[in-house]
Structure 1
Amino acid sequence: MLKSLSVRVLIALVAGLGLGAAAAAFGGEGLRGVVEGVESIGTLWLNGLRMTVVPLLFSVLVVGIASVADAAATGRLAMKALAWFLFFVLVGCAWTIAFGYGFYALFPVSETGAAALTAGAPPPPPEVAASPSFGAFVKSLAPTNPVKAAAEDSILPLVVFAGFFAFAVTRLPEPRRVALTEFFDSISGAMVEIVRWVLWAAPIGVFALGLGVGLRAGVGAAGIIGHYIVAVVLAQIGITVFAYVVAVVVARVPFWTYARALAPVQVTAFATQSSIACLPAMIEQSRDALKVPDRVTGLVLPLAVSVFKLTSAVANIGVAIFVANVYGVEPQPMQWLAAVIIAVAMSVASVGLPGQVSFFMSTGPICLALGLPLELLPILIAVEVIPDIFRTLGNVTGDMAVTAILAKDHEPDPDVDAETRPALG
């Protein structure tokens, strides 16, 4: 059990919070000074993660968008699948923002706990409070200097530039296209390796940060973290239920048929927390239980696992909403639009990355787009094992929903024997 990084980090967080709270309650000023000194190690560890965000973000976006463009070129079925993927992700983003505002209106974050939790973190920059006009937002999309945008953590212009660059790469002759794609794939691989090294020290870094949080927030920090877990999990359950409804209504699959087909896949998702590991079960259940043609399962499900994560955008925006509530920040509509664009891009780019890597790489840019500090993210990584279960459950549910929809809408291939094309419903 202790071989799991998630378990070790969670233990480190609990130990750090507990010792920090004990130092606050029973220790003198000398002990508090020692704890604050140890906390600086956690800040160093956080900076180790932050230094990889921009190069990893740009490289995975180039590779991810180029792969989506290649998939779209394979035919009309792939284009329909990508359109449905985009629809689900956009609905998920809208749902999460609406749910988040409603949830925190009914169950607000404790002001005392939030103040203690953020006492050692830098405040959000003052420009967060300013609402950019639509014209200013549009003008900011194209960076006049991409290098400067990267240096200043101007994430949305960087994402836009990466998108244009990636599509331009797909227009190059194949040898150059392959060479550039492999180059950026190698960069992302190197960045992931650096993040793996940093995450190897995650128990130490999270323990050090947890000491500081426990020193300032005491045992109340556990309640705030529990508040976060409930909010993010409920948001993911909501979009998962939506995927059920769409599969039943649009694909006209009987509810119990779809539920029985999904059950073995969801058990695998719960156990592995990996959509890729669920692919064989998804193919088998779609083909045998839902009677999806092999041509659809053979294209849509591998494509879904490669470029579609329904709950990633939901969870990532959910994290940003929690951080905004902790800091008492009210992002403006144009900032939320930027966050949604980045969340959609990250849902493609982060596919295939390890869970802890994709968490920081996906949520960090969204928080930066909203002008939020990243200091709380390492604490949230420690409890990501719980929301990650629901991420995977939602992802596989969405994958099979799109597959069922496209099977119902699928135009038979005249070269395929009719016996291999049973209909749904």
Structure 2
Amino acid sequence: MSLTVRIMIALVAGLACGIALSEFGDALDARIVDIAQPVGKAWLNGLQMPLIPLIFALLVTGVASAASTARTSGTATRTLILFALLLTASAAVAALLGPLLLQLWPVPAGAVGALAGAGPTTEVPGVRPSAEWLLGFIPANPIHSAAEGQVVAVVLFALVFGFAVTRVAEERRIALTGFLAALEDTLLIVVGWVLWLAPIGVFALALVAGSRSGLATAGALLHYIGFIVLICLTVTALVYPLVILLGRIAPGRFARAVLPAQLIAFSTQSSIASLPAMIAASDGPLAVRESTRSIVLPLAISLFRITSPPANLGVALYVAAMNGVALGPLQIAMGVAVAAIVSLAAVGLPSQITFFTTTGPICLAMGVPVEALPLLLAVETVPDIFRTVGNVTADMGVTRIIDRLGGGTGTRD
């Protein structure tokens, strides 16, 4: 039985037990909740424990690898620049669309706080538009910033450190990136051990949430799925006019070209499984030169997840709404930046680990509680389908755009 299935079973069982306790509970049942609460909290703390050093290692190795790739050819450089622009733009779409959706289609009545976790929540502290606010991004002591969970400062330091690594002598650069890659692998093993216990932690957290809010918890999870799916569909839809404009291709032609790969992505939830169909479309109806396709498609599969920043930012926005946390423009702007950067750092990781390494830093940067993330992971299977479809669509779109920017004619029928 896969980990995803075990987590789903634990979620359903925990919610059922918690709802039963809320409806028919007595003093003994209250003690059961008191036991489950620290169990869930302890597991969540274990999951957060390796998060900051893992993000640092992922970012440094990712920046060093991307810089090395960009030096290989002009096509690779243009591709990476386009990736960065589109990832930031897609996160900005969620920053604008997410609050609007939550206003027009709010969290179900009575569900606020249903996934809040173990303790009371407070409003995000005000951010002062002053020199002190700016200095908060420059960590005087990066280790202290990491210990305090100041994700934005850690991310900035990791980016600077990663670019600096590319400037040292090759022998030392290889040694340093090798050490960080080993650190990354070690931390992923630790995360894997913690995730092996996920059914226990998710059951405990779901029991507490169900006992607190009853059936409202289940309603909130269904609402959450719809919210994230809408964001993914919107970003995917925006890819079409972008490719039509910059890739200079007819709408129907592009839609027909990407459809086979989209169907494979929908059924397998795997971009790699869609790669043969993407290659066939690039060589056929998209009329992309082989020299472009051979560079852009592998880079896109490896690095480019256009739905990750908006969906992950959407998770943070939804958790904030669930907890009654008010977010200002500056908090959301920080979320956009972290979402775009972290999406590049977490490529190639297992899906369960990816969810935490991408959504966790965004929540921490925005001051949003992370206790609900394990419960949302349990229902991530449905949004992940639409994430993958959007990613495959964008991968093929950027391949066409880069080919046109590089002088391709795209005239093949």
Alpha-carbon contact 1:59-1:188 (below 8 Å) kept: yes
Deviation per residue, 1:162-190 (Å, 9 max, x gap): 00110111111212111211211111111
Change (3 A) 1:28 1:21: same
The letter of the residue matching 2:333 is L
Query: 1:219-258 alignment to 2 at 5 Å?
Result: 219-258=215-254
Q: Deviation digits for residues 283-321 of structure 1, max 9, x if unmatched? A: 222112312111111101111122211011011100010
- CA deviation after TM superposition for structure 1 residue 116, in Å: 4.2
Kindly provide the amino acid, as one letter, of the partner of residue 271 in structure 1.
Answer: S
What CA distance in whole angstroms lies between the structure 1 residues aligned with 2:63 and 2:300? 14
* Counterpart residue number, 1:214: 210
Give the equivalent residue in structure 2 for 1:174: 170
Change (3 A) 1:175 1:274: farther
Question: For residue 32 of structure 2, what is the amino acid of its counterpart?
Answer: V
Is the Cα contact below 8 Å between 2:236 and 2:394 reproduced in 1?
yes
Q: Which moved more, 1:254-263 or 1:101-110?
A: 254-263
Partner Cα separation in structure 2 for residue 339 and residue 289 of structure 1: 38
Residue of structure 2 in register with 1:53 after alignment = 51
1:228 shift after superposition: 1.0
Contact 2:55–2:357 (8 Å) recurs in 1: yes
Deviation of the 1:82 alpha carbon: 1.6
Letter of the structure 1 residue corresponding to residue 119 of structure 2: A
> 1:396 and 1:271 mapped to 2: Cα distance?
13
What letter is aligned with 1:156?
V
Distance 1:422 1:24 in 2: 62
Kept in 2: contact 1:9–1:382 (CA 8 A): yes
C-alpha separation in 2, matches of 1:385 and 1:140 = 37
User: Residues 134 and 334 of structure 1 are in contact (CA less than 8 Å); yes or no, is this contact kept in structure 2?
Assistant: no
The 5 Å alignment of 1:145-184 reads: 145-184=141-180
2:268 aligned partner: 272
Residues 239, 116 of structure 1: CA spacing in aligned structure 2 closer, same or farther, 3 A cutoff? closer
Deviation readout 1:152-211 (Å, 9 max, x if unpaired) = 000111101000110111111212111211211111111111111111121121111111
Q: Is the 1:78–1:300 Cα contact (8 Å) retained in structure 2?
A: yes
Distance in 2 separating the partners of 1:116 and 1:285: 45
User: For 1:44 and 1:214, how far apart are their aligned partners in 2?
Assistant: 18
Query: For residue 400 of structure 2, what is the aligned residue in structure 1?
Result: 404
Map 1:354-369 to 2 at 5 A: 354-369=350-365
Mapped contact 2:8–2:379 kept (Cα < 8 A): yes
Shift of 1:232: 0.9
- The reply on whether 1:102 has 2:100 as its aligned counterpart is yes
1:137–1:334 contact (8 Å) kept in structure 2: no
- AA aligned to 1:211 is L
Whether the 8 Å CA contact 2:285–2:412 is kept in 1: the answer is no
> Identity across aligned pairs (percent)?
43
1:82-101, aligned counterparts within 5 Å? 82-101=80-99
SS of the aligned residue for 1:63 comes to: helix
Shift of residue 117 of structure 1? 3.5
1:293 aligns with 2:289: yes
Residue by residue, what CA displacement relative to the aligned partner does 1:334-360 show, whole Å, maximum 9, x if unpaired?
Answer: 222222221111110011011110111
Stretch deviating more after TM superposition (106-115 or 309-318):
106-115
Q: Residue 166 of structure 1: SS of its match in structure 2?
A: helix
Picking from 174, 178, 182, the partner of 1:186 is: 182
Cα shift readout 1:352-407 (whole Å, capped 9, x = no counterpart): 01111011111111111111111011111111111111111111111111101112
Structure 1 pair 98/424, CA: closer, same or farther in 2 (3 Å)? farther
Equivalent pair of 2:225/2:383 in contact (CA under 8 Å):
yes
Task: Name the SS for the 2:272 alignment partner.
Answer: helix
Residue in 1 that maps onto 2:258: 262
Q: Quote the Cα distance in structure 2 between the aligned partners of 1:275 and 1:63.
A: 22
- How far apart are the structure 2 equivalents of 1:227 and 1:280? 35
1:130 pairs with 2:126: yes
Instruction: Report the secondary structure of 2:307's partner residue.
Output: helix
Structure 1 pair 137–400 and aligned structure 2 pair: CA distance change class (3 A):
farther
Tell me, yes or no, if structure 1 residue 347 matches structure 2 residue 343: yes
TM-score scaled by length of structure 1 = 0.93
Distance 1:408 1:117, change over 3 A: closer
Matched, 1:317 2:307: no
Cα shift at 1:35: 3.0
Question: 1:28 matched to which residue of 2?
Answer: 26
User: Who is 1:375 aligned against?
Assistant: 371
Q: 1:68 to 1:137 in 2, by over 3 A?
A: farther
Q: State how far apart, in whole Å, the 2-side matches of 1:108 and 1:20 are.
A: 24
Q: Distance in 2 between matches of 1:104 and 1:129?
A: 21
Give the stretch that moved more between structures: 212-221 or 29-38: 29-38
Deviation at 1:109, TM superposition (A): 1.7
How far off is 1:83 after superposition?
Answer: 2.0
TM-score by length of 2: 0.96
Query: In structure 1, how many angstroms separate the alpha carbons of the residues matched to 2:117 and 2:37?
Result: 13
User: Pick from 7, 10, 13: which aligns with 1:12?
Assistant: 10
Paired residue secondary structure (1:373)? coil
Q: Which of 281, 303, 307 is 2:299 aligned to? A: 303
1:76/1:382 CA distance change after superposition, 3 Å: same
Q: 2:323 aligns with which of 316, 322, 327?
A: 327
Distance 1:422 1:336 in 2: 39
* Uncovered stretches (5+) of structure 2, i.e. residues with no partner: none
Counterpart Cα distance in 2 of 1:245 and 1:191: 41
SS of 1:319 mapped into structure 2: helix
- Contact 1:253/1:424 (CA < 8 Å) preserved in 2? no
Structure 1: segments with no counterpart, 5+ residues: 413-420
Secondary structure in structure 2 of the residue aligned to 1:276: coil
Over 3 Å counting, the alpha-carbon distance change for 1:373 and 1:318 in structure 2 is same
* One-letter amino acid of the structure 1 residue matched with residue 85 of structure 2: F
Q: CA deviation at 1:424?
A: 5.6
How many residues of Structure 1 are paired with residues of Structure 2 in the alignment? 413
Match of 2:39?
Answer: 41
**Could you tell me how far apart the structure 1 residues matched to 2:244 and 2:56 are?**
38
Over the aligned positions, Cα root-mean-square deviation in angstroms equals: 1.7
